[in-house]
Amino acid sequence: MLHQLSWKVGGQQGEGIESTGEIFSMAMNRLGYFLYGYRHFSSRIKGGHTNNKITVRATQVRAITDDLNILVAFDQETIDVNYKELSAQGIILADAKFKPKQPEDCEAPLFIVPFTEIATELGTSLMKNMVAIGATASLLDLDDSVFQSVVNEIFGRKGEVVVEKNMEAIAKGHEVMNELLGDRVGEWKLVEADGKRRMFMIGNDAVALGALTAGVRFMAAYPITPASEIMEYLIKKLPEFGGAVIQTEDEIAAATMAIGSNYGGVRAFTASAGPGLSLMMEAIGLSGMTEQPLVIVDTQRGGPSTGLPTKQEQSDLMAMIYGTHGEIPKVVIAPSTAEEAFYDTIQAFNIAEELQLPVILLTDLQLALGKQTVEPFDYSKVEIRRGKLVNEVEAPEVEKEYFKRYEDTTDGISPRVLPGIPHGIHHVTGVEHDQTGKPSETPTNREMQMNKRFRKLDALRFDMPIYTKSPHEEADVLLVGFNSTRGAIEEVQERLATEGIKANHAHIRLIFPFPTEEMQVQMAKAKKVIVVENNHTGQLANIIKMSAGGHGKIQTINKVDGTPFLPGELHNKVKEMLN
CB of 39 to other proteins, least distance (A): 17
Q: Is the dihedral of CA 17, 22, 28, 32 positive or negative?
A: positive
- Separation of alpha carbons 534 and 274, rounded Å: 14
Provide the pairing of β-strand 554-558 with 526-533: parallel
By CB under 8 A, name the one of 12, 76, 120, 213 that touches other proteins. Answer: 213
Closer Cβ to other proteins, 226 or 437, answer by number: 437
Decide: 312 and 563 in contact? Cβ < 8 Å.
Answer: yes
Number of Cβ within 10 Å of residue 126's Cβ equals 15
Which one of the spans 55-63, 79-87, 93-101, 374-382 is the region binding other proteins (CB under 8 A)? 374-382
CA of 69: how far to CAs of 44, 183, 299, 377, 571, in Å?
A: 28, 18, 31, 32, 20
| Least distance in angstroms from the C-beta of 40 to other proteins | 23
Does position 209 interact with other proteins (CB under 8 A)? The reply is yes
Site for other proteins in 399-418 (CB under 8 A): 400, 402, 418
The Cα 444–Cα 465 span in angstroms is: 35
Residues 172, 134 contacting (CB under 8 angstroms): yes
Q: How many residues touch other proteins (CB under 8 A)?
A: 71
Interface stretch with other proteins, choices 16-24, 422-430, 443-451, 458-466 (CB under 8 A): 422-430
* Piece of the chain touching other proteins by CB under 8 A; list 137-145, 212-220, 329-337, 564-572: 212-220
Choosing from 377, 406, 482, 514, the residue that interacts with other proteins (CB under 8 A) is 377
Classify the C-alpha dihedral 487-490-494-500 as positive or negative: positive
CA distance 206 to 408: 37
Residue 419 interacts with other proteins (CB under 8 A): yes or no:
yes
Shortest CB 446 distance to other proteins, Å: 17
The DSSP string of 5-72 is EEEEEEEETTSSHHHHHHHHHHHHHHTT-EEEEEEE--S-SSSSEEEEEEEEESS---S--SSEEEEE
β-pairing, 331-333 vs 510-512, is antiparallel
CA atoms within 13 A on the CB side of 182: 1
Question: Could you say which of 106, 421, 450, 521 contacts other proteins (CB under 8 A)?
Answer: 421
CB atoms within 10 A of CB 213: 17
Among 57, 198, 416, 502, binds other proteins (CB under 8 A): 198
* Stretch of residues binding other proteins (CB under 8 A), selected from 39-47, 106-114, 420-428, 505-513: 420-428
CA torsion through residues 417, 419, 420, 423, sign: positive
Alpha helices of 89-147 — where are they, by DSSP H? Answer: 115-122, 128-140
Q: For other proteins, which is the closer residue by CB, 48 or 260?
A: 260
110/425 with CB nearer other proteins: 425
Give the interface segment with other proteins, choosing from 205-213, 222-230, 299-307, 357-365 (CB under 8 A).
Answer: 205-213
Q: What are phi and psi of 389, to 5 degrees?
A: -80, 130
Binding mask 509-548 for other proteins (x = CB under 8 A): ----------------------------------------
**Which of residues 42 and 440 has its CB atom nearest to other proteins in the complex?**
440
Interface positions, 240-299, toward other proteins (CB under 8 A)? 240-244, 246, 248-250, 252-254, 256-268, 282-283, 286, 290
Least CB distance to other proteins at residue 244 (A): 5
DSSP conformation class of 2:
B
In the complex, least distance from residue 263 CB atom to other proteins, rounded to whole angstroms: 6
Phi and psi, residue 110, nearest 5°: -110, 120
Distance CA 305, CA 274 (A): 8
Map the footprint of other proteins across residues 428-447, applying CB under 8 A. Answer: 428-431, 438-439
- What single-letter DSSP state applies at residue 190? B
Site string for other proteins, 219-238 (x = CB under 8 A): -x----------------x-
Signed CA dihedral, 364, 369, 375, 380: sign only: positive
Q: Could you tell me which stretch among 123-131, 217-225, 484-492, 566-574 binds other proteins (CB under 8 A)?
A: 217-225
> Residues 19-58: x/- map of binding to other proteins (CB under 8 A)?
----------xx----------------------------
Question: What track of x and - describes contact with other proteins for positions 61 through 100 (by CB under 8 A)?
Answer: ----------------------------------------
